[in-house]
Structure 1
């Protein structure tokens, strides 16, 4: 999350980065970071609580944290940086990534799968 925060707040000159264009690549990157962050966050909660905190409660907590984090980063970009701008579509991509990450965790730990939430 520190890495994501730093990348979100620092600007890079055009000379520092390779120059290629893929439409909406940044939205895919946002989605992926928040998907992975949500999955890792849920797994961290599971490990830290030894599965004693319920699956649904853990998922709701990590999704709320991730969505709030995404909103705060976009507001900071908009208000406190000179070369960066906040984008509502970034917030949407972040939120969708978090929701899909939550869905992945829910599917992996529900039903008759080998993975169990409680240790």
Structure 2
């Protein structure tokens, strides 16, 4: 199913892929299909360059949106496993989830990094661009 999604993203790059709303309730495009596909490509290249290989685990501590979806697509493309980590769960929960998942790397947005500073895990936290 995700392979079909990746193909669809490339077939109509200008089509809205992720929608949101403004404060007034108007619908806005957060990312087009092409932007999402390009972002997924960049994440896949970065993960591969870090030496991750099929079967490795990536902790994903990213708020829902285009970046999180692109990370998940990249993880799937490389045959990696994703351990979704909730940045707002608090340091004790985050520490327990990291111990259970034992990720090879964690991709984190600013919210997750703020939590990690309170209870630093023994994995690499990288801020997403």
User: Is the helix fraction higher in 1 or 2?
Assistant: 1
TM-score, normalization by structure 2 = 0.27
Structure with the higher strand share, 1 or 2: 2
Please report the TM-score for the alignment, with normalisation by the length of structure 1: 0.28
